[in-house]
A and B are shown apart, each in its own frame.
Chain A
Amino acid sequence: MGNVFGSFLRRPEAGSVLSLIAVIAFFVIFGGVNLGNMLGAASWVNLAANLGIVAIPMGLLMISGELDISIGAMIPAGSMTVAIISGYYGLPIIFGIAGALALGVIVGTINGLLTVKTSVPSLIITLGTLVAMQGIVLSASVLLTGNASVALTSPVWAKTLFGQLLGGSFQVIILWWVAISALFLVIVHHTPWGNWIFAMGGDKVSARNAGIPTERLTIGLFILSATSAAFVGMCGAILFNSAQVSGGMNYIFNAVVSVVVGGTLLTGGFGSVLGIFFGTLTFAVVTQGIYFTDIDRNWSSLIIGVMLLVAVLMNNSFRKAAISYSPRKKK
């Protein structure tokens, strides 16, 4: 039993599972929360799903030693693209969807190429594309539509797939999030590709020397990240029947917090999809669950901040435990 617990603690997701339990316990004990009400609410699951779809690629990039903050602009870019193409110009929705995703592929390719071809840190590169895309989205929509917000009506099939409310309040994107998480859980932890991502984050030069196509893999991860962000934006536009040029900036910080609380090492080489999943859940429970407590909601930022610091410290000691673990030298 102690052994099982010990090996759980050495896993990257240990911290996020423990913080999720701790946060819920805190809300129940000090916030007088009704657990059934809170857990049954759609608000935090919806938030987790939208955030989770961008947090997974963000986490994979972080494991591989990179960072992509341009998602903050790619979310509104995705939603504006589908709304302009299929709402303003009235083309079939399939073109709008393809356009939004293609924009993600293009921006992701640019981020990736700039990262592997220059020695500039990807934080700076994606800061550049973040600001540039914000400018492009705003001026393009004003230029094309004369407006900063565009309406969109979607056919039933598109609504069903991307913008449906299940049970009246649960966004269908929750199912996408769970499916994407499961898919990446398998890819990252059970295929050679996953191994390559970890090796790349551990030591890029050695990974290349070991025969890993590090450049292609890095570009691929940036494409994944930008496209996922465009996908989230697109689903939002289809759900709300409209798109705005603003919004999306919160996602950058929220995704980083989720990924780090999920046990991913900022410097690369360590982390897990399950951890990112639970990190996202924890983040969502703190920010939305607080409405179900007697605690003033402004405190949620404090809780997030403390949680982040505790997570970083815990990750550090868990990692030390993971490294020093040896079956022979048991204490």
Chain B
Amino acid sequence: MTHAVLELKNVNKSFGPIDVLHDINLKVNAGEVLCLLGDNGAGKSTLIKTLAGVHKPTTGEIFMDGEQVSFDKPKEAADRGIATVHQFGGTFPLMSIGRSFFVGCEPVKKFGPFKIFDRKTANEVAVKAVRDFGITRIDDGDRLIGGLSGGERQSLAIARAVHFGARVLILDEPTAALGVKQASHVLRIILEARKRGLAVIFITHQVTHAMAVGDHFAVLIRGAVAANFMRGEKSREEITDLMAGGEALADLDSAMEAQSEATGGEPAQSAARATVA
């Protein structure tokens, strides 16, 4: 029997008195894209931070390939092949592309006992990694990150994660604040990573983006897994409602109904949606 690449069992996380995650059970397999959906503050970023070694779960267990793991710092998760692009930050505007790409795992040349940063290799590898993802405008690893567009920066961060993420790639809202073209580029990168056999965890607020690449969907509502289903098991409307926590859109529906009473059939449907949540 093959194990899931990453599995969470009854994971809880609280910050002091604030409970953020409740009894999370989730599995991600190799070559599969798990879309993590949920409203603002639902706990998505907190969940992936516990997978990336930024936070330790308060209780519960994490397994990789069936073997229990525990990460004390981000470096330990990275060493196991989990690479994360966090929602905020991740790139260093005043550093060069080559240097930023390798922060924390710099390539070195040895001169006797001394380890010298290998700028040439760093630049070459970084530029090649981004170009492989179709950003051909980047050709000089000495350029500073701050001079790149938002989409190029995001692509660089993702290319970096793919380069180092041997097993699991975690992307926290990589398509937020991107233009249509750049967002579709990121989605292509996700599909490419899946083709290479990585397990991908993809957080987004956009149903279209989730539907485009997701194999497996999990919805978090107030820190608990409210729904966990595979592609094709739920309609786009159902997913949209779940992502908004159910109630919000149902309310919106009834408000809109009040405005245009002419339509039949609608009330029944919105009642059905409300019960899904």
Residues of A with Cβ closer than 8 Å to B?
186, 190-192, 194-196, 198-199, 202-203, 205-212, 265, 269-270, 319, 322-328
Contacts and interface: CB of A to CB of B under 8 A. Distances in A.
A202 B74 CA distance: 18
B144 A325 contact: yes
A326 B84 CA distance: 28
A322 B89 CA distance: 20
A210 B103 contact: yes
A323 B75 contact: no
A265 B94 contact: yes
Contacts of A207: 92, 103-104
B116 A191 contact: yes
B74 A194 contact: no
Given A195-B106, A209-B74, A212-B104, A202 B143 contact: no
B117 to A, nearest CB: 5
A199 B144 contact: no
B74 A211 contact: yes
A186 B111 CA distance: 12
Contacts of B179: none
B106 A202 contact: no
B207 to A, nearest CB: 28
Q: Rank and list the top 5 A-B pairs by shortest CB-CB distance, nearest first.
A: A202-B92, A211-B75, A211-B104, A210-B104, A323-B146
Per DSSP, chain A at the interface is helix
A288 to B, nearest CB: 33
B108 interface: yes
Contacts of A265: 94
A207 B139 CA distance: 25
Contact of B137 (A196, A210, A328): A328
B52 interface: yes
B271 to A, nearest CB: 44
A324 B147 contact: yes
Interface string B46-78: 000000101000000000000000000111001
Nearest to B75: A211
Contact of A209 (B86, B100, B137, B146): B86
A205 B52 CA distance: 13
B73 A206 contact: no
Contacts of B90: 203, 206, 209
B93 interface: yes
B93 A212 contact: no
Contacts of B137: 328
B92 A206 contact: yes
